[in-house]
Structure 1
Amino acid sequence: MPEMASIERSRAHALLGASAVLFSVLYYVSDLLEAAQGGFSSGQLWLTLVAEAAIPPIVIGLYLVQRPRIARSALIPAVGYAYAYVFFTGTVVYALVEGTPDYATLSEQLGLWMTVHGVLMFIAGVWFGAAVVRAGVLPRWTGVALALGVTLVVATQGAPEGLQLVAAAVRALGIAGMGAGLLVRPRA
């Protein structure tokens, strides 16, 4: 029976890894579409909604697959990062319902709430990235990419679109890389 549990765990890790890669790519594609269109569209927002809604369970799963080597306290930033994306998923629903034309308008409409959750995403992303590096279960560079990516996302708010896309790519690469690490790591 232990062999069967190992097979099931390997399948779950492969599903989590593939999901992390797929939804990170979809999320970045939605950023590219938004930039190319010069704002939101229904199709782009639906793609964003699907991609963002997948992030919370993926991040919690990425925490769990690193147990017991990742610090138990890393659950705090994993939950914080996941929660921030629950909020941001809600902002996409808001934008769809209200017909919000672009991110600047959405930020203006939601004001302080966007800022508070952006700060939470930043702190949790840096903390979780550092925990991934320390744990050494997933490729360490992925934790660095996540921490650097969320830092760049914050730093490039209001910057030219190209810089914002680079920041988003680095952040997406962190989560996608963690997923890829699950897909290629040797099985016990």
Structure 2
Amino acid sequence: MTCTHRRLGELVGLAAIVFSAVYLISDVVEVVQGNFSTTRLVLTYLGESTIPLFVLGLFAAQRPRIGWLGLFGATAYAYAYVFFTSTVVYALVEGVVDYRALTASFGPWMTAHGAIMLIGGVAFGIAVVQARVLPRWTGFCLIGGVVLVAAASGLPTYTRALAEAGPAIAFIGMGVALLRGRSDVANHVGRQAVDLATTEPRQTPTTPSSCPMP
């Protein structure tokens, strides 16, 4: 079971790295093309649809130190991106040409969920800093990033892309911490992921020096 725990932790870290990078690439594509395209929207969908999953996994990596503030922040941030992912699906189906047209289509709903994203991101970032399980700089980077994302709403595409790099870099840093020389944290996130999926009692496993290859 210990090797399963470790691999679950590594999976969360890998997802945070890969899909945050995909999200950054989608922003670069939009900057180059100047508007939405099928390629850009598909990449955005791949990036955004996984954010709720790995953010909750990153929360689990820091239990119990991250506390209720971390739970609130992760849940709010994850919920906001469930909504944002739905807007990407809408843009693909309806052929929306750019970000301004998309925000006009959703109006106050986009604003409301942007506020939820901001509050959730700041709360989660503060909780990461306080927990001291993952690198503290990633929490500060997330806080600054979501503030910049909120401030850049409605600004030119390249400005929004630069702002959105902040949260992506924060999550990549958290993911790297789970994969690079932090096997204790990787084991911890795996155990917490199992705890979230079952309420059956368990005994704390002894961590082996290495896991056998599948």
Taking structure 1 as the reference length, the TM-score comes to 0.94
RMSD: 1.1
Instruction: Give the drift of 1:116.
Output: 0.2
Amino acid at match of 1:153: V
Aligned match of 1:172: 168
2:98 and 2:154 mapped to 1: Cα distance?
13
Structure 2: runs of 5 or more not aligned: 185-214
1:186 and 1:130 mapped to 2: Cα distance?
21
Amino acid at match of 2:153: Q
Instruction: Give the drift of 1:13.
Output: 1.0
Q: Greater relative contact order (Cα 8 A, min sep 6): structure 1 or 2? A: 2
Aligned match of 1:10: 6
Aligned match of 1:20: 16
2:108 and 2:5 mapped to 1: Cα distance?
41
Higher helix share goes to which structure? 1
Aligned match of 2:92: 96
Aligned match of 1:29: 25
2:10 and 2:95 mapped to 1: Cα distance?
38
Aligned match of 1:137: 133
Identity %: 49
1:142 and 1:73 mapped to 2: Cα distance?
16
1:39 and 1:167 mapped to 2: Cα distance?
17
1:168 and 1:187 mapped to 2: Cα distance?
29
1:67 and 1:107 mapped to 2: Cα distance?
36
Structure 1: runs of 5 or more not aligned: none
Instruction: Give the drift of 1:65.
Output: 0.9
The alignment covers a number of residue pairs equal to 184
Aligned match of 1:116: 112
Residues 52-109 of structure 1: CA deviation (Å, up to 9, x unaligned) = 1000010000001111111133211111100000000000000011100000100011
Taking structure 2 as the reference length, the TM-score comes to 0.83
